[in-house]
Structure 1
Amino acid sequence: MSRSAAILLAAGSGRRMRGSVSDKVLAPLAQRPVFTYSAAAFAASGVADYYAVVYRDRQQLTALAAHAPTPSVLVKGGRTRQDSVMNALAALPSDIEFVFIHDCARPLIQPDQLRALHKIVRRESAVILAHRVADTVKERRDGDRFRTLKRDALWAAETPQVFSRELIVRAYQRVADRELLVTDDAAAVELLKHPIAILENTQPAPKLTTPADLAWLEYLLTRSPIA
């Protein structure tokens, strides 16, 4: 029987919070640390047999250890997001076949979405949660020239992003070999020309990025509480 793991990323610097909180994944959100919402959603979904929790420093390690799902390993984050993911991949048990990679600054993930992603990845080997872009997007060309992109073809990537372990390890090896910088895990897999399925998220699920996001996230949580 195949086993799955979840990499829970919590090592981000949070610079855009502008010092409003000391650690955004441990900031109080509806009286609970932000990190606990992702941990609880994964636990409720039953999709992961093992967890790798990626931390930033020793102070954060102590706090995250108290809230980490079990069984889990705590992994020191790297200089960049992709370094943190690669560190976590290397720490997983050898029998893990599928890997969820989730940014814990996205606390509105739902157990039913996790179960749907798990089902899709076993068929497609690569799937991401994403939402359709509602804005008209302009691409800056030369100087002050712009091009309007076709909105119907645009998706905003979220997390979790889920892959077969063999595929995501091979993708990040390609990234390392070419000394590239990627902003999400799907971008690494795209280098292998492997198709990536999308599970559409039709509900607002913002990432905690700026101080104003805390109030917006708390409002959304009161409308749709997570276990």
Structure 2
Amino acid sequence: MVCAIIAAAGYGRRMGGDQSKQLIILNGMPVVARSLRAIATCPQVDQLILVTAPEQIATLETLAAELDLGKPFQVIAGGSERQYSVANALKAVPTDAEIILVHDGARPLVRPEQVGAVVDAARVFRAAGLAAPVKDTIKTVNADGFAVGTPDRNCLWAIHTPQAFAADLLRHAYAQAETDQYLGTDDASLVERVGVFIKLVNGGYENIKITTSEDVCLAEALLARRME
């Protein structure tokens, strides 16, 4: 059984204003609605847990119900950080779940077949994530803002979501992070800390995260191209 967690508790301060970036309308549909629909459409996913800010639970329950996802779902309160939100969701994941998939609600352009590919990879390798090779030359910098190194671009990938894991592995990684008081930037970083490599699945460059107003413009353009 595969349980998908959709993290949608962030407000996106870099967008400006106080509206949740998850509820920004993207070509006629809220960002998080597009994410939910893509995850639910994947045949490998059996149920969904949507994590949001406490004051938005009723709003997102209504939104998810109106989408007619065709699969069981629940909406629960998140925490002050993404990691705490996912930790809350893990408590609601059924004990018989074999694979737990985590996706950022702010990545609305993911395709159902990409979700399925990550789940399939996790069944084989226990940990997998959608990613893309880095196109830019990357520099490491010092505290004064000077470039001090140039990593080999052939060894650099940008990891996205969804990320999927064997359920026992993800629970163990989160428990260890809590014990160590470690705060990571994604679920894969927690799993790496307990000694497991992440199998990367090439998802291309369309699976962008809505973080700034420029991302909204780009996402709309990509959606328009899909419709063509």
Q: CA separation in 2, counterparts of 1:107 and 1:43?
A: 12
Question: Counterparts of 1:138 and 1:37 in 2: how far apart (Å)?
Answer: 34
Deviations 1:138-184 (A, max 9, x none): 11136435111111100111000100110000001111110011000
Q: State the Cα distance separating 1:203 from its structure 2 match.
A: 3.4
Which position in structure 1 is the counterpart of 2:62? Answer: 66
TM-score (norm 2): 0.93
- Equivalent pairs, count: 221
Contact 1:39 1:67 (C-alpha < 8 Å) held by counterparts? no
d(CA) in 1 for partners of 2:91, 2:108: 25
Counterpart residue type for residue 161 of structure 1: Q
Match of 1:181 in 2: 183
Mapping of residues 141-220 of structure 1, within 5 Å: 141=142, 143=144, 144=146, 146-220=148-222
Give the stretch that moved more between structures: 197-206 or 151-160: 197-206
Contact 1:11 1:55 (8 Å CA) reproduced: yes
Equivalent residue, structure 2, for 1:113: 114
Once the 2 structures are TM-superposed, how far is the Cα of residue 212 of structure 1 from its aligned partner?
1.7
RMSD: 1.4
Pairing 1:11-26 to 2, within 5 Å after superposition: 11-19=9-17, 22-26=19-23
The answer to whether the Cα contact below 8 Å between 1:141 and 1:147 also exists between their aligned partners in 2 is: no
Local SS of the residue matching 2:132: strand
Runs of 5+ consecutive residues of structure 2 not aligned to the other structure = none
The amino acid that maps onto 2:204 is T
Where structure 1 has 5 or more consecutive residues not aligned to the other structure, the ranges are: none
Partner of 1:52: 49
Q: Distance in 2 between matches of 1:45 and 1:145?
A: 43
One-letter amino acid of the counterpart of residue 67, structure 1: L
CA distance in 2, matches of 1:43, 1:181: 29
- Of residues 22, 38, 42 in structure 2, which corresponds to 1:41? 38
2:5 to 4, 7, 11: 7
Amino acid at match of 1:63: T
For residue 224 of structure 2, the aligned residue among 194, 205, 222 is 222
Partner SS for 1:13: coil
Contact 1:7 1:85 in 2 (8 A): yes
**Quick one: which amino acid aligns to residue 7 of structure 1?**
I
2:24 is matched by which residue type in structure 1?
A: A
Q: How far is 1:204 from its partner?
A: 2.1
SS in 1 for 2:109: coil
1:119-138 superposed matches below 5 A: 119-138=120-139
- 1:55-90, Cα deviation, whole Å (9 max, x unpaired): 1132x2122112324311211101111100110011
TM-score under structure 1 length normalisation: 0.93
Deviation of the 1:223 alpha carbon: 1.2
3-state SS, counterpart of residue 160 of structure 1: strand
